[in-house]
Structure 1
Amino acid sequence: MAVYLVGPDDKTIFRRRSTWDLMPALEAANDGDIIEIQEGFCFTPDSGDDVITIEKNLTIQGKTLNTENGLVLPTIEAGIFVKNEVEVTLKNLCLRRTLDKRNCLNVQNQATVNGKNLVIENTATDGENYPIVYVAKQSNLSFDNVRVEESAIKDGDHKVYIENSNFKVNNSEINARVYVHHSQINCNNTMVTYFDSNALFLRENSFANIKSSEFIGGKVTKKTSYSCVMCRNSEITLDNTVIYQPNYSSALHGIDSTVKVSEGKIDSANFLGCEVTSDKGVFAESLFLQKETQFKSNTFSILGKKNGKINLFADDKSSVISETINFGLLTSPNIKLDRNVEFQVKRLHQLEYDQGQESFVLGEDGNPIIVSSDLEIEYFGEKSSFEKLNDMVGLNNVKSDVKEFIALAQMNKAREKKGLGTSVLTLHSLFLGNPGTGKTTVARIIGNLLYEKGIISKNYFAEVSRSDLVGQYIGHTAIKTREVLESALGGVLFIDEAYTLANGGEKDFGLEAINEILKFMEDNRADIVIIFAGYTDNMNKFLEMNEGLKSRIPNVFDFQDYTPDELVIIGLAELHEKEYQVNEEDYSALVQHNFELSNDFSNGRWVRNLNERIIRKLALRLFENENADMSVITQEDLLAVKL
């Protein structure tokens, strides 16, 4: 191993020169040799190309000089290009370019560069930035105690560019954008600062392992927004790391990525289609979860800030699963969730918070002080199918049966996916009950639930009756019925008043429809759900006449008639929905009275007809008195329909 000392010409009349010029030294050196540059020396190319290409395994190191103004490093004012599978170590040097559109360091073609105690800078003041460091084509770059200086050109393209390669950085300071494309970065105890774009951008299946580091930057204008840390289609692990971009909603922005956060502090985070795990993560301002993001944590905290943003927002089938969420300053609303969001959180705490210190206040026992554990959640969007079911008046037995029905179907599906044994599950059902008891509504909800859980393949619901299935001549019924059945494949077919198919006797075409349905049920057992609905007595007789049909419908739901109290609730809900006002006690008394005298077992239909008569009396009163309030139903209107 030879050492080549590079420095000024020290030749005198008494001795020969003991130093080399840099370019001849590089030319003479062999694999494993060391190029050593004297303290205070600055290499500047005489003319022509200002690029040094290295295709040997070398170490280039400088001798440092301590001055009153600090440490002075030898300087190379040329681009260093390393390529073709060699390994080069750069140590105790300043790498400088003075013109725009230049790389200070370029590493390609499976080369490796180890940088230690370096300053990398481009002093150009106008023009266009090229990557100050460029690494590509399965190469490797490691930095230890390296400082990449800020560029005077503010075009957003001053960056360390890594593509299809590996980058390790430790104890360093980078004042440029770190752009990682289909690559891996390991970052420890490093500060990255850049205010003209992202401080860190990961994309296209990149992997980042960040530990005890800080990222400061990002840029927000009226036209453009750059998150401090952007992760797209990649994976990032943040351990005890700070991401600083205040008064913005996406300091950390993840899209279709895997994110792991432990401790540290992130000003804000916005995840779309991500899988996120957090272990004691702290979000200073807000956390947004969108587009089916899955967020799992044991405990995490949102400090909160009075800046108009919601502390925790989730929508579009995202999920939040956590033991505890701690909040500092509450917002209004503090938590806002789409109704299709899965929110499984055991404890919500507001903790005493010191805004000046931006930290939770600890009690005498060393633990945070709980101010409140009763925090409001605001919901928006369409209610889930189970919520709609639970909101229905009465039907407690049916609700319980539906949940058991869905749970069994879901378990069967899950066991099938894991290759476990399953019983043959038949979803065909029988809905028994009088009109107006919610049979059609519940059938639609079951269809939605089966689709949401992946048990049926199509979100399709069709309601048919005898006239939709039975034809007018021999052979027509089979065709007509088969068309209806085939259109419902993958979904739910609801046959109302199904018993009417057998009302015409042996020569009736309805029997042809029944036979076609039986055959179709047998041939497509797992591809369609058929619900037969009707009056209890008539349906029981119908099944007794068709043993083959009865054996194929194992699920029976019994819809009980509504009580007078339940009809009051249904009737008032309808009036309120139409923005009518009524004295609820007077209305309840009317329903109770008329029900005893005129109940026709039509249930919801009965109370809707009653409401229609009340509104007619209101309209008649308004016709005679134009100054009356058209939204207020008076006792006079109620008495006008009392039996």
Structure 2
Amino acid sequence: MARYLIGNSNDTWNFYQAYYACNPGDILELKENFHLILEDGFFEIDKDLTLEGHVNFEDNTNYYTNKIVGRLNIKNKANVNINSLWLESNNKFDNILNIKDSSTVFFNKVIIDRTDLIKLDSNQEKYPEVYVSENSSLNFENVTTFDKGDFYSKLYAKNSNIEINNSDLCLSLSFDYSNVSINKSCIKKYYTNAINAKHSDLKINNSTVNGGYTQKRYPCLYIYNTNINSNNNLFIQKNYPSCLFLNENSYLISNDDIVSSVDINSSRAFISKLTVNEIFCINQKSLAIVKDSFNLKGENNEKIDLLIQDNSILNAYEISLNRYFVPNIRINGSSTLLTEYLSINGEYYYDENSPIKIERSDDSYYKVGLIENDDLEDEFLYEEINDDENISSNENELSPYDKLNKLVGLNSVKNEINKMIRMVEFNNKRIEMGFLPEENSLHSVFLGNPGTGKTTVARLIGEILFEYKALYNKEEFIFIEASESDLISSNVGQTAEQTYKLLEKAKGGILFIDEAYTLNKGDSSVNFGQEAINTILKYMEDHRSEIMIIFAGYTKEMEEFLDTNPGLNSRVANKFVFEDYSSDEIVQIGESILIEKQYVIEDRNYYEKNVKFAYEQSIDKSNARWIRNFNEKLLKVFATRVIESESTDLSTLTNEDIDQVFNIGKYKNYDGKDEDAYNKLQNLIGIDQVKRQVDEFISMAELNKKRRDSGQKIQNFTLHSLFLGNPGTGKTTVARILGNLLYQKSIIKENKFIEVSRSDLVAGYIGQTAIKTRAVLKSALGGILFIDEAYSLSQGSDNDFGNEAIDEILKFMEDYRESIVIIFAGYSKEMKEFLSLNSGLQSRVPNKFYFEDYTVDELVKIGLSSLDKFAYKVDEQLYYQVVKNNYNKSNDHSNGRWIRNFNEKLIRIMSQRISNTNEDDVNTITIEDLEQIKE
């Protein structure tokens, strides 16, 4: 990483020369007191770098010594850091920053200032100081802008990610289809919205937002079809009923907020510990749930405290009023108020004779007191809650293009679609002006793993192109989805006919062929798939502009499919790569699914943290399918809890529900019975050193959990292990218990224990061992694979197929390092020789468990415990003497196996005696029995 000092003296670089000389990741540092005035008023940055100035801190004030004057364009996926600089523009018809093309920009200690301004009410064209678009990311840390009064000043972001921390921004923040996080910041802008968010996800924490324009009815926060999660914030706009204005299927989660006023329209709110200084309004089939205190301070003498109207519902645990007003509360238009506690100035009231003034229309309803099922099942209320029109998703009101942009992630796909649409628009303009259009092939290939949205996007592309009149059939939208079975016939000669009919059916529109690679039957004796491909190729040539064909499938298989069909590859101009979702995007998808189904997550941070970790550790990386499956499990757990506890809360998902899905705190053994595996391990006799090593495993896991819970990074540790010990020392038993224990502690993902030996891994023919071994390894993913007598895999010969199994195991251990635990077990001497021949294995298995031979005392305890389990009675002192005598004389020191065999022989002697004497006592082992077994 090189550093270039920028200035106008002999010992410094010219800015432009430094930029073209620097490599990605280098630092361009402006010399102290040097101001860079950009030639032509702008400069384009298209590579990774850091722009850095100097800030002097004196008398509790930051003094910036460097300015950059003009517009910075940041593009082409550049990753740029801008530190300790004053960015200035004296051109009111230009941006100061324009960020696009999936670029990422981090600011720290930056002032953004435009000196030439336009009045907000001017008809002149206006340009925001900061413009972010095209799936770019912007991060503000300690950024400042100045109050421009009633002059235009804005940050605008579309289809982007914005994070603002510890900043003081006197400008309007406007977001479309963006993910936004604001933390510990002050946002202030009068004469317009301080925040305007549409079709976005907005998180605000520990911040102050102040603004709006009462005379022109501009709310401080205008929220449209947006999810907003607000925690410990102050929203200020005095003497106006809509400081926080929610509209059109917005979703608010509020915790510990103070707001001048709230106005909810066709939206939902889930509230905890909210203070409203003036008025709270809920309108137009909205729903608000207050889980605890709800403080209405009534500081506006011209407004009532609470208004519920237009088929809306407020369900609050406690409403606290702070004044007598006529009325305090108004309910009309078939609306409902339910609250368990209603107070004024600290005095609680439960009947209509209270001094609290409630004005209610005849078709509305309210109740103060314990909320019961009957209250929730009033006919009008039941109909309103369940009416499809009550809280709609507004999906039908969105254009296909808006629906596409609303999809989480898929940034590169969206960019490619935009290019396709721009080409369509370009051709339309050429046609309008009498020019010939450019040839624009629409045939496409979709490459991506399961659950990345290929089918959904295919339909949306079709709808967008249909709207733009780009498809051959301008009157009717045609979208045909097909798979292998729709194209291929099992009868000779009929595949071409069947495929042609389907192509004709899709003519004028789109044919979407899912898992298209299945048409490639190159290894089949009769390749009907090639017949289908040939028919498709000919149709694509004969009807080039009359149909759009999309070939979709998993990335690897589709690339192989295209490579084996060059004619197809050359005819498909558009390639869309559907990237896997990040864990953050998985969380976002999961939350949106639950919100759409009208569920509330009690603690979104807990949901986000646990889902993110689980997906990162999961073997099943099926993207959106994974989070859909998880949410289904979560809702089943939730439904069970609600029914069993007879709860009336049918919407709030708790941390305990999440814990149960992730098996946190739940102990299940392999038989499904409740049992703590750790206690089971501790109850085993002997193996003290092994127990201490297992404790180290668990301590590491618990440390990682605590770090994860506190938001810190965790270091994964390798669990692959060697179990070394003589026969009968408990290696297999401990391995089974360890598997159960690791599952209970959420260290491994599945309660799975696969036990194998050489014969399960090694085949008798060349090439088959790797296949056989890989199948076993895959079957153990998520759990534990226990390889007993592992040294038998290597028998010293270069021609031994066991070496092939070892090579496959080594590769698998590297590829799936965090998805499987492999335990290699065997006798100490043989395992030592085995490891000396396999250095790659030795370096990948850092954990060694030494199973020491049992002492005679331990063998006696094991033997007595086994007899006691079946209610046998024995003279323990004599039993001890006989066991000690026999074991010392025996050549078979197989530890636990020896004592097991000893007990079995003793029971046979006992049973023979009882059979001969016809005794009734079937539990007592006599002295004679012990004397008979004594050697």
Query: TM-score per shorter chain, which class?
Result: 0.5 to 0.7
CA contact (8 A) 1:317 1:340 kept: yes
Alpha-carbon contact 1:121-1:150 (below 8 Å) kept: no
Residue of structure 1 in register with 2:344 after alignment = 350
Of 42, 46, 55, 1:64 maps to 55
2:158 maps to amino acid:
E
Deviations 1:530-560 (A, max 9, x none): xxxxxxxxxxxxxxxxxxxxxxxxxxxxxxx
Matches of residues 272-287 of structure 1 in structure 2 within 5 Å? 272-287=265-280
1:452 and 1:66 map into 2 onto residues whose CA distance is 60
Match of 1:376 among 356, 375, 378: 356
How far residue 376 of structure 1 moved from its aligned partner, in angstroms, is 3.1
Cα separation, partners in 2 of 1:263 and 1:24, compared to 1, 3 Å: same
Q: Does 1:220 align with 2:217?
A: no
Q: CA deviation at 1:342?
A: 2.1
Contact 2:261 2:278 in 1 (8 A): yes
CA distance 1:330–1:41, change in 2 (3 Å):
farther
Q: Determine if contact 1:262/1:280 at 8 Å carries over to the other structure.
A: yes
SS in 1 for 2:271: strand
8 Å CA contact 1:123–1:151 kept in 2: the answer is no
Conservation of the 8 A alpha-carbon contact between 1:348 and 1:375 = no
Give the drift of 1:150. Answer: 3.0
- Tell me: CA distance 1:290–1:449, structure 2 relative to 1, closer, same or farther (3 Å): closer
- The CA deviation at 1:44 is 1.4
Q: Per-residue deviation at 1:330?
A: 3.1
Match among 71, 74, 81 for residue 66 of structure 2:
74
Q: After superposition, what is the alpha-carbon deviation per residue over 1:137-192, rounded to whole angstroms, capped at 9, x for unaligned?
A: 1000000000022336x35x421001000100000011110001110110001111
Partner SS for 1:124: coil
Give how far 1:331 is off.
2.3
Instruction: Find the residue that maps to 1:78 and give its secondary structure.
Output: strand
Aligned to 1:319: 313
Alignment of 1:325-474 (within 5 A): 325-338=319-332, 340-351=334-345, 369-370=346-347, 374-383=354-363
| 1:279 alignment partner AA | S
Shift of 1:384: 5.6
Letter of the structure 2 residue corresponding to residue 163 of structure 1: K
Tell me how far apart the structure 2 counterparts of residues 172 and 455 of structure 1 sit (CA, whole Å).
43
Instruction: Classify 1:181/1:330 alpha carbon distance in 2 versus 1 (closer, same or farther; 3 Å).
Output: farther
Q: Which residue number corresponds to residue 186 of structure 1?
A: 181
SS at match of 2:17: helix
Once residues 358 and 262 of structure 2 are traced to their aligned partners in structure 1, the CA distance between those partners, rounded to angstroms, is 20
Tell me how far 1:456 sits from its aligned partner: 14
Instruction: Tell me, yes or no, if the aligned pair for 2:311 and 2:384 is still in contact at 8 Å.
Output: no
The alpha-carbon distance between structure 1 residues 318 and 375, as it changes in their structure 2 partners (threshold 3 A), is farther
Q: State the Cα distance separating 1:50 from its structure 2 match.
A: 0.9
1 or 2, which has the higher strand percentage? Answer: 1
Residues 21 and 370 of structure 1: CA distance in aligned 2, closer, same or farther (over 3 Å):
farther
SS in 2 for 1:226: coil
Contact 1:339–1:379 under 8 Å retained in 2: no
Matched, 1:112 2:107: no
Alpha-carbon separation, structure 2, partners of 1:67 and 1:452 = 62
Given residue 33 of structure 2, which amino acid in structure 1 is its aligned partner? Answer: G
Say which of 221, 238, 241 aligns to 2:233. 241
Tell me the amino acid that sits aligned with residue 113 of structure 2.
E
For 1:456 and 1:91, the matched residues in 2 are separated by 51
TM-score using structure 2 length: 0.38
1:23 Cα deviation after fit: 1.9
Structure 2 unaligned regions, length at least 5: 368-372, 390-935
8 Å Cα contact 1:304-1:330 kept in structure 2: no
**Which amino acid in the other structure matches residue 329 of structure 1?**
R
Partner residue in 2 for 1:305: 299
SS in structure 1 opposite 2:29?
strand
- What pairs with 1:14-29 in structure 2 (closer than 5 Å)? 17-29=10-22
Listed as ranges, the matches of 1:255-270 within 5 Å are: 255-256=247-248, 257-270=250-263
Distance in 1, Cα, partners of 2:132 & 2:107: 13
Aligned residue for 2:170? 175
Q: Does 1:121 align with 2:113?
A: yes
Contact preservation (8 Å) 1:52, 1:80? yes
- The one-character-per-residue Cα deviations of 1:4-35 (angstroms, maximum 9, x if unpaired) are 001231xxxxxxx2201222211211101100
Report SS of the residue matched to 2:16.
helix
Matches of 2:105 and 2:218, distance apart in 1: 30
Q: How far off its partner does 1:315 sit?
A: 0.6
1:140 pairs with 2:132: no
**1:41–1:343: structure 2 CA closer, same or farther, 3 Å change rule?**
same
Which residue matches 1:525? none
Q: Deviations over 1:117-139 (max 9, x none)?
A: 00001011457541000000100
Q: Output the CA distance in 2 between the equivalents of 1:454 and 1:159.
A: 41
Q: Distance in 1 between matches of 2:214 and 2:20?
A: 49
1:232 maps to: 224
* 1:101 partner amino acid: F
Cα 1:234–1:449 change in 2 (3 A) is closer
| Alpha-carbon separation, structure 1, partners of 2:43 and 2:317 | 57
Normalization by structure 1: what TM-score? Answer: 0.54
**Helix, strand or coil for the counterpart of 1:292?**
coil
**Superimposed CA distance per residue, residues 49-75 of structure 1 (whole angstroms, 9 cap, x where no aligned partner):** 211100000011112234567422310
Structure 1 residues 70 and 147, CA gap change in structure 2 (3 angstroms): closer
CA contact (8 A) 1:240 1:262 kept: yes
Cα deviations by residue, 1:233-289 (Å, 9 ceiling, x for unpaired): 111111110111001100000002101111121000111011101110110111000
Structure with bigger helix share is 2
Take 1:453 and 1:147, find their aligned partners in 2: how far apart are those partners?
45
Question: Structure 1 regions of 5+ residues with no counterpart?
Answer: 10-16, 352-368, 388-405, 412-444, 458-643
CA RMSD of aligned residues (A): 2.9
Amino acid at match of 2:266: G
**In the TM superposition, what is the alpha-carbon distance from 1:449 to its structure 2 partner?**
9.5
- Counterpart AA for 1:228: C
Indicate if the aligned counterparts of 1:39 and 1:65 stay in contact, CA closer than 8 A.
Answer: no
Q: Say which SS state the counterpart of residue 31 (structure 1) adopts.
A: coil
Aligned 1:522-533 pairs, distance under 5 A: none
Contact 1:309 1:331 in 2 (8 A): no
Task: Say if 2:30 is the partner of 1:37.
Answer: yes
Q: Alignment partner of 2:102: what SS? A: coil
Is contact 1:217-1:245 (8 Å) kept?
yes
Per the TM alignment, residue 383 of structure 1 is displaced from its structure 2 partner at its CA by 2.4
Q: Alpha carbons of 1:149 and 1:56: their partners in 2 closer, same or farther (altered >3 Å)? A: same
> Given residue 231 of structure 1, which amino acid in structure 2 is its aligned partner?
I
CA distance, structure 1, for counterparts of residue 197 and residue 289 of structure 2: 22
- How much does 1:372 deviate? 6.2
CA contact (8 A) 2:284 2:312 kept: yes
Structure 1: distance between partners of 2:106 and 2:365: 59
> After superposition, what is the alpha-carbon deviation per residue over 1:357-391, rounded to whole angstroms, capped at 9, x for unaligned?
xxxxxxxxxxxx4476635353444426999xxxx
- Aligned residue among 75, 84, 89 for 1:83: 75
Q: Which residue of 2 aligns with 1:521?
A: none
Equivalent residue letter for 2:100? Q
Distance 1:372 1:343, change over 3 A: closer
CA distance in 2, matches of 1:76, 1:170: 22
1:494 maps to: none
For 2:24 and 2:282, the matched residues in 1 are separated by 53
How many Å separate the matches in 2 of 1:104 and 1:2? 27
Give the match's secondary structure for 1:25: helix
Contact kept, 8 Å, 1:349 with 1:375, in 2: the verdict is no
Call closer, same or farther: CA 1:384–1:238 in 2, change over 3 Å.
closer
SS of structure 2 residue aligned to 1:225 = coil
